[in-house]
Amino acid sequence: MASVSYNHVSKRFGDFSALKDLNIGIEDKEFLVLVGPSGCGKTTALRCLAGLEEVTSGEVMIGDVVVNDVAPKDRDIAMVFQSYALYPHMTVYDNMAFGLKLRKLPKEEIKTRVENAAKILGIEQLLKRRPRELSGGQRQRVALGRAIVREPKVFLFDEPLSNLDAKLRVQTRAEISKLHQRLQTTFIYVTHDQTEAMTMASRIAVMNKGVLQQLDTPQNLYDFPANMFVAGFIGSPAMNFFQARLVKEGTYLFLDTGDMKVKIPESRAKIYMPLAGRDVIFGIRPENIHNPQFAPPGIHAEIVKTKVDVVELMGFEILLYLVSGNTTFVARVDPRTRFAMGDNVELVFDMDHFHIFDPGSDPENPVAVR
């Protein structure tokens, strides 16, 4: 078992910086997920840890050892790729045992490790089959088994569920979470899917353009995003953003978008009072916009008039795509709602749950104000 550290790690490919001064400390037995859009640097970070890429500067550590110059085979890690990378001419048993045979482990130990891994993954009955006789989910389990038998200090996963269909992704996601609990080993997992990240991770590292944006627990990322990028990336549908001005009227503070005007509760107004008179970004999640008929009791509710553009019936919820003047936004409302396309309606903003971002802090990625 081992902790992992990225200390001021940078990686350049020619003039392109894939990683910029990356600092992450991953605790022993932690399940850390690196998440972000394509090209954000998450896979490069994983490959630098695996030894498949050389870092340009900085240190990568496994435990107390700097592994920058350690060969990949000597880093005591196991990696599961997006492609299963199974040998088609070998049985499942031989695919799982291959790495152990290369290390010249005794036959009995190899047999014990393979059978134990197969039992953990529920593939004991598949050991004599070849990859072509397996489903996608079964092949992914074999790839996991090949990593488990090595008994490494650290498991690395590079988008391992991308090739699976939606139902199988959910099932395998749960299996990987249970596997982490059973093995009690450090897991580092790369994905572009924020749902995978939120449901599996102990902590999540959100990345964009080679820069770590925020490192925190899933709930804290959702409740307290550090900036607009994190706020928009975590959550589905994404957070709504409005160009607004903070307006002070008497002792009250309002957010005025030009098309709507909502009052900030007094309990939170003092935080934003220094920004009164300034332009800000107002953010609110779709799940915090309600049909007034079914709004939760006791919230600071601000009524907004809007027009329904599109209705998506999801069964357990309804997504409303709305237009208010020049502003478009999304609401996730109670399934008992009976709004139709073209209706002029009133909705409730839950002003106990909103965010303000200051464009003056960074025009490209405004920082949250708290």
pLDDT digits (tens, 9 = 90+) for 118-147: 988 888 999 999 999 998 888 888 988 888
| Same domain assignment for residues 214 and 89 | yes
> Based on the structure, what is the number of domains in the chain?
2
Kindly state whether residues 190 and 147 are assigned to the same domain.
yes
pLDDT, tens only, 45-92: 999 999 999 999 999 999 999 999 999 989 999 988 877 788 899 999
- Nearest in space to 202 (alpha carbons), one of 24, 79, 361, 44: 24
**Greatest mean pLDDT among 102-106, 158-162, 307-311:** 307-311
Q: Is 350 found in the same domain as 255? A: yes
Domain end, chosen from 202, 233, 264, is at 233
Q: Are both 61 and 139 inside the same structural domain? A: yes
CATH code (residue 362): 2.40.50.140
- Give the pLDDT score at 315: 93
Q: Are residues 249 and 220 in the same domain?
A: no
Same domain, yes or no: 197 and 283: no
Query: Of 186, 210, 233, which residue sits at a domain end?
Result: 233
Based on the fold, state whether residues 136 and 11 are members of the same structural domain.
yes
Give the model's confidence band at 1: pLDDT under 50 very low, under 70 low, under 90 confident, else very high: low
Q: Concatenated DSSP letters for 189-255?
A: EEES-HHHHHHH-SEEEEEETTEEEEEE-HHHHHHS-SBHHHHHHSSSSPPEEEEEEEEEETTEEEE
- Alpha-carbon span 233 to 364, nearest angstrom: 15
Rg (CA), the chain: 25
The DSSP letter of residue 19 is E
Per the structure, the complete domain to which residue 276 belongs is given by 240-292+299-368
Name residue 141's amino acid: R
Verify that 283 and 206 share a domain, yes or no. no
CATH code where residue 97 lies: 3.40.50.300
Q: For position 275, what pLDDT does the model report?
A: 92
Residue 163 pLDDT > 80 = no
Asked if 366 contacts 227 with a C-beta cutoff of 8 angstroms, the reply is yes
* Whether residues 312 and 211 fall in one domain: no
| Residue type at position 28 | D
Let me know how long the chain is.
370
Considering the domain architecture, whether residues 170 and 284 belong to the same structural domain is answered as no
Given a contact cutoff of 8 angstroms between Cβ atoms, the answer to whether 188 and 156 are in contact is: yes
Q: Helices marked H in the chain — which ranges?
A: 42-50, 92-102, 107-121, 136-148, 166-183, 194-200, 218-223, 228-233, 266-272
Question: Same domain for 247 and 229?
Answer: no
Q: Report the candidate in 158, 150, 145 with the shortest Cα–Cα distance to residue 43.
A: 158
pLDDT tens-digit map of 292-349? 999 999 999 999 999 999 999 999 999 999 999 888 999 999 999 999 999 999 999 9
Joined tokens for residue 225? 């995003």
Structure tokens at 264: 């900030």
Residues 60, 202, single domain; the answer is: yes
Q: What is the pLDDT of residues 240-292, one digit of tens each?
A: 999 999 999 988 999 999 999 999 999 999 999 999 999 999 999 999 999 99
Q: Would you call the peptide bond into 131 cis, given omega within 30 degrees of 0 as the criterion?
A: no
Q: Which of 233, 252, 271 is the last residue of a domain?
A: 233
